[in-house]
Amino acid sequence: MAERIRLALCGTSVTTNSGLKLSVSCTVGFACFPFLHDAPTVGTWEDVLGLADAALYASKRLSRNSWAGCVAAAGATAEVFGVVHDSPEHLEARGLVEFLRSAPRRFATATE
């Protein structure tokens, strides 16, 4: 779905009132709600929105016109909501989430 949204928006153009033509790009971050399938009442939609936001910023670091999604890893617990602001690599390394990406490249770190 994220790729279909990205494709529908990118490549289009917008013309400003002054006649300047701008190309549209689209970067998407997503997470499913409920996030924990085995415990659907754990975590609010605001918690999951934080995970989608982390995926969006990870996608922006990946490249322009891309998408990334955050899904619960097997055996993930409510602990994931307490560490939402960790880097994608850290969340994955702890076995809390898996990040799906539109490109097979790794995420860039904040220092790159």
* 31 domain-assigned: yes
How many independent structural domains does the chain possess?
A: 1
Query: For the whole model, what pTM was predicted?
Result: 0.77
Average pLDDT, the chain: 83
**Does residue 48 lie within any of the structural domains?**
yes
Q: For residue 72, give the nearest of 105, 44, 39 by alpha carbon.
A: 39
What range does the domain containing 92 cover? 27-101
Q: How far apart are CA 77 and CA 89, in angstroms?
A: 17
Does residue 78 fall inside a structural domain? yes
Q: pLDDT class for 105, splitting at 50, 70, 90?
A: very low
**Which tens digits make up the pLDDT trace of 15-41?**
999 999 998 889 999 999 999 888 888
In a domain, 36, yes or no: yes
Please give the distance of CA 96 from its chain centroid, rounded to a whole number: 15
**Pairing state between β 67-72 and 28-31:** parallel
Q: Give 64's DSSP letter.
A: S
What pLDDT does 31 receive? Answer: 92
